[in-house]
Structure 1
Amino acid sequence: MSSFISKLQARLAKEESGFTLIELLIVLVIIGILLAIAVPSYLGFKDRANRTAAQANVRSAVPAVEAYYADNGTYVGMNATTLTAIDAAVSATVISAAAATYCIRATSGSFSYYKNGPAAAISATACT
């Protein structure tokens, strides 16, 4: 029995272990293919998330804007500070404020969305 174990130990001692260059190159190619698939998908997801976040920030600022109008009867004097006094979670910027209309903007990443007055829809077009 001991001769069998000694032969096995001798065979294991002679054997070289490790990866060949071809095996390593194949692994690198597989990793490259996976990255080529994953990175564009991730960037598209990130853009959609920023776009949706900017729209949601504008949408969440509207109640504070309307509360300001209800308190003052005008949008004049409205700014980011007065809106955060009404709702601390507001993260929109006041571009302009007139007696009967306003323009607010929210930016997330490279995307900006606007709301140009109480009846306007949220859009990516800057206020005029």
Structure 2
Amino acid sequence: MNVQQTSPKVRKGFTLVELAVVIVIIGVLAAFGVPKFLNSVERSKAAEAFAYLAAVRTAQERYIARQGVYTEDLTQLDIAIQAPKYFTPGTITSTNTGTDPTWTMTLTRIAATSSKGAYTVTFTQEGFDPDNSTILALPEINPSGTTAAAPTT
């Protein structure tokens, strides 16, 4: 007796339900991951402003040690860092009268992203100036770790 063995058909590929489940999982992961990624990219751009202004501050301290005053001319500073790519450098304003000379410089974000508006980072001879920096309104991208003070009643 000759018995033919029938083998079940081997299925190749995925079902529509399996593909839909995978697409939903990828969508959920993207919904959580993309905003975090965009914040980290913007945070790194903000860190560029902080690094540049810290270099300006260090150069200003060297300049005042040599000349006795702060300068308003960036070309007179010996800065070993390139100008920020994503920020427009403001002008340096200095006050060299009296016993405590001061200087201030503000960088403004060149192109605001879709999720973040334009913001500024300000440094003085003391370092980061939270009172005049609008980056405090964006704690998710603020690399300084400084937070806005709670309003007093």
Name the TM-score class by shorter chain: 0.5 to 0.7
Match status 1:65 vs 2:60: yes
Kindly provide the CA deviation profile for residues 53-78 of structure 1, in whole angstroms up to 9, marking residues without a partner as x. Answer: 423332232120111222222224x3
CA distance in 2, matches of 1:40, 1:49: 14
Of 12, 17, 27, 1:17 maps to 12
What is the DSSP-based 3-state SS (H/G/I as helix, E as strand, rest coil) of the residue aligned with 2:120?
Answer: strand
1:3 paired residue number: none
Note the C-alpha offset of 1:46: 2.9
1:122 paired residue number: 129
Structure 1, unpaired ranges of 5+: 1-6
2:103 paired residue number: 102
Kindly provide the CA deviation profile for residues 3-46 of structure 1, in whole angstroms up to 9, marking residues without a partner as x. Answer: xxxx6xx848x544222211111111111011112112222323
Note the C-alpha offset of 1:88: 2.0
Structure 2, unpaired ranges of 5+: 111-117, 134-153
Percent identity, aligned pairs only, is 28
2:38 paired residue number: 43
What is the DSSP-based 3-state SS (H/G/I as helix, E as strand, rest coil) of the residue aligned with 2:104?
Answer: strand
State the TM-score, normalized to the length of structure 1: 0.64
Note the C-alpha offset of 1:95: 2.8
Aligned pair count reads: 114
* Aligned Cα root-mean-square deviation (Å): 3.2
1:81 paired residue number: 75
CA distance in 2, matches of 1:59, 1:39: 30
Please list every run of at least 4 consecutive aligned residues from structure 1 whose deviation after the TM superposition is greater than 6 angstroms. none
For the pair shown, the structure with the greater C-alpha radius of gyration is 1
CA distance in 2, matches of 1:121, 1:18: 58
Residue type of the partner of 1:101? Answer: T
Residue type of the partner of 1:75? Answer: Y
1:113 paired residue number: 121
